[in-house]
Structure formats: structure tokens, C-alpha cells
Amino acid sequence: MNYKKHNVACTATMLGASASAWGAELPATNAGDTAWMLVATALVLFMTLPGLAFFYGGLVRSKNALSILMQCFAITCLTTLVWFICGYGFAFGDGGAAQAWLGSGHWFMADVTRESVVGTIPETVFAMFQMTFAIITPALVIGGVAERMRFSAVIAFSILWLLAVYLPVCHWVWGGGWLAKLGLLDFAGGTVVHINAGVGAVVAALVLGNRRGFPHTAMPPHNMTLTVAGAAMLWVGWFGFNAGSAVAANGNAGMAMLVTHLSAASGSVAWMAIEWYRYGKPSVLGIVTGMVAGLGTITPASGYVGPAGAIAIGLAAGFICYTATHMIKRVLIIDDSLDVFPVHGVGGIIGTLAAGVFAARELGGVGFAGETTMLHQVGIQTLGVLATLAWCAALTFAILKAIDATIGLRVAADEETEGLDLADHGERAYIL
């Protein structure tokens, strides 16, 4: 998924005056690919609003339900503006001498016009599709600090984190940066989205500290019906996330959709089986969390592996992410409120490494490039994982410390007890 942009000049002298009319076909575009990418873009935005918002909203306590919905909504709006101003350019622009590390800035998307093309789709569609990835990643991070971070701090953190963490890693992997040149396999966001989000969330949870009462006070989800509805929306929206990353309506998109579904189902079954065996009853929370683990873990590998590999990856995701969740919450006593690191971070690591294995043609994958061996590819994948971990952890920590020293990170104790719905927004989720 390393894209090279091709800007196609379209002038009246070359194509006739009708080319500038509304509805005119763009040069070098494919109608089928464009139609699919318009749908995929809507599906990925659907993952954040309403999917992730409902999923997170149901998982928190009722006194914080509106706050998490507000945070998802605000992050969507602010990320959109940052992406327009400079984000798209930093991620996908030509950085010249700094190309290995960051794009040019491409301020205000100045050369993104009706006539500019990326591959076989309009650049407007490509830019919008990539924007939805930039939106959901910081929205995932806030799950690690749910119920205790000030709204103003959430806003400041999300903008700074997008600029300093997401955009550089996105450029490294998908914008022609150094990891792309090494040949890292990350089809739809194992490093860019899931490892980044997971590490960002757990670092933020450590810096802010645990919620008052954790782990001795029970803090169950207040509305599992809302959570399941959000999870179902995530499952459907994820087809745009992974299959859309083919940036074409072709066999790669079809296989990505198939393996995404297989991995999600396998992750759910694995998580359900563990709970059933250990506690005698499988929980609804467990089956939907296993689904998210399966989806996140297949993401980086979805364009490279076959059906059998997807099932193996999904099963591994269910078992390993379940264990990681227990370790983070019960052994290390880290209050990653909504399990972002053990599900997305650990899942992203597993999936990125697994792509280097199950992409092998002998295992049903697409095969490795040139003379690359499985061992060499796994080495590249490991380097990508470690680089993302280190960059995200260091920059996230620095951003949080800077915000804490200026506007402050955490709400006051009485506000946390009262709930962020009233403390930050003066509203209640439920009037009973």
C-alpha cells in the first residue's frame, strides 16, 4: 500500500471546455474503482461515527457516556481540519531531501483539484479515504484514558499527537518513507493505526494514573446493548478499512474482505472459548472484544495472506489479546480503561509480524518481493514494529508532559466522581 501520486493536468485546450463541467470524467480514472473507494471511505468514517463512539460509549460508566461520544465527535472534526491544512501533505507529500521521514506539508491541499489523480481514482477521494484513517487513530487512543482526562487536554493531545506521531509514521509506511523503501508489509494499518493507538493509549494511561477506585471498585460497562451495536458497526465498517486499502475494485480487495471477515469470526470464537472454559459462561463483552482483536490483528496482513492464514491469525489474536488484557489489568495494574493496548497494540504487533510469515506463497499468501526470504521479511516487520513502538512511546510521553505542565491533563477528584458528562459538558446521557 505504498502510493505514488500522479497529478494529471486537465486544461480546456487539451481536453475541451466540457472537461471542466460538473460530472465530466476525470482523466485516467476508473469508474468502478472510484465508486468502490467512495463507499469504502464512507465505511471507514462510519467506524468512528457512530461505530467507535457507540462501542466506547457503552463500555464506560453512565456518568461518562456523553463525554466519550463528544470526544469521538470533536476528534473527527478537528482531525479533518488539520488534515486539510497540512496533514495530507506531511503524510503523502513529496518531502524532497527529507522524504524518508516526512512529506512536504502540501499546505491547504492546494494542488488537490478535480483533475488530480492517484492511481485510478480522483485525488480528492484518495485524500478523503486517508483522512478517515487519521480520524480513527487518535479516537482509538482516548479509550486508554476514558473517564479521567479533561476535555481541553483531549483536544490538545489529539492535535499534537496527530502531528507528531501519526503523520510521520504514516509517511514512513504509506507515503514513500524509509519503512516503505525497506519493504514493510502493512496493508491497512498494523503499525500506522493499531500499534500507534495501542502504545499511545497505554503511555497515556500510565502518565495520568488509574481511575479512582481501580482496580478494587467494579467499573462494568453501563450499556452492553450500545457496545454490541457499536461493535457490529465496526465489523461492517472494517471492510472499507481493509478492502478499501486495495484502492481498487479488484481481486485484492475481494480477498482482503474475505480474510478480514474470517479473522474477526475466529477472534470472537477464540475469546468466547477461553471465557467459557475458565468461567463456565461466555460473555457478550468477550465475544465482541475478540471480534475487535481479530479485526485489528488481520489489518496489516489483509492484503497479503490467504483464508487459512487469516483464520490462524484470528485465533492467535483471540488467545493472545485475551491474555494481554488480563496481564495489563490484573497483573500490571495499569488502567488502560477500554483495553486499547492489549487489543489494538498487541493485535497490531501480532498482525504485522504474522504478515511476514503468512504472506508466503506456500502458506496461501501473495509471496514475497524478489529474492526476499521469510526470515528477511520477518526482520523487516520486526524493525517496523520496534520503530513504531519507540517513536510513539517517546513522543506521546513528551506531548502528555507538555500538556500537563500547561493546561493540565486530569480532571479534579470531585469532577471524576461526579462524571465527565456534567463536569465537562453540563449534560447527562440519561434523564430518568
Answer yes or no: is pLDDT of 1 > 60: no
pLDDT tens digits, 399-426 = 999 999 999 999 999 999 999 999 999 9
CB-CB contact of 184 with 380 (8 Å): yes
pLDDT tens digits, 154-205 = 999 999 999 999 999 999 999 999 999 999 999 999 999 999 999 999 999 9
Answer yes or no: is pLDDT of 247 > 50: yes
CB-CB contact of 12 with 20 (8 Å): yes
CA within 13 Å, CB half, 31: 3
Give the rounded percent of residues in the chain with a pLDDT score beyond 70.
Answer: 94
Q: For residues 190 and 186, give the distance between their C-alpha atoms in angstroms, rounded to a whole number.
A: 6
Helical (H) or strand (E) element with 379: helix 374-406
Model pLDDT, residue 319 = 98
pLDDT tens digits, 129-163 = 999 999 999 999 999 999 999 999 999 999 999 99
| CA-wise closest residue to 211 among 135, 146, 265 | 146
Better-predicted residue by pLDDT, 9 or 287: 287
Helical (H) or strand (E) element with 118: strand 117-118
Answer yes or no: is pLDDT of 237 > 70: yes
pLDDT tens digits, 331-374 = 999 999 999 999 999 999 999 999 999 999 999 999 999 999 99
Q: For residues 305 and 317, give the distance between their C-alpha atoms in angstroms, rounded to a whole number.
A: 15
DSSP one-letter string for 165-181: IIHHHHHHHHSS-HHHH
Instruction: Look up residue 61 and give its amino acid.
Output: R
Instruction: Name the band, by pLDDT with cuts 50, 70 and 90, for residue 306.
Output: very high
H-type alpha helices, 110-189:
123-141, 151-161, 167-174, 178-182
Q: For residues 363 and 11, give the distance between their C-alpha atoms in angstroms, rounded to a whole number.
A: 49
Instruction: Look up residue 117 and give its amino acid.
Output: V
Mean pLDDT within 35-50: 98
Model pLDDT, residue 3 = 43
pLDDT tens digits, 309-320 = 999 999 999 999
pLDDT tens digits, 16-30 = 333 333 345 667 899
Model pLDDT, residue 26 = 64
Instruction: Name the band, by pLDDT with cuts 50, 70 and 90, for residue 105.
Output: confident
Contacts of 372 (CB under 8 A, 6+ apart): 183
Q: What is the mean pLDDT of the chain?
A: 93
Answer yes or no: is pLDDT of 212 > 50: yes
Greatest CA separation for the chain:
74
Beta bridge partner(s), residue 149? 410
Model pLDDT, residue 406 = 98
Question: What's the grid cell of residue 365?
Answer: 499468501
Question: What's the grid cell of residue 351?
Answer: 498482525
Model pLDDT, residue 54 = 98
Residue linked to cell 470524467: 25
| CA-wise closest residue to 147 among 53, 63, 231 | 63
Contacts of 329 (CB under 8 A, 6+ apart): 215, 335, 336, 339
Question: Using alpha carbons only, what angle is made at residue 367 by residues 365 and 371, rounded to the nearest 5 degrees?
Answer: 160
Answer yes or no: is pLDDT of 272 > 60: yes
Instruction: Please give the domain boundaries of the chain with CATH numbers for all domains.
Output: 28-406 (1.10.3430.10)
H-type alpha helices, 20-98:
31-46, 53-59, 65-82, 88-92
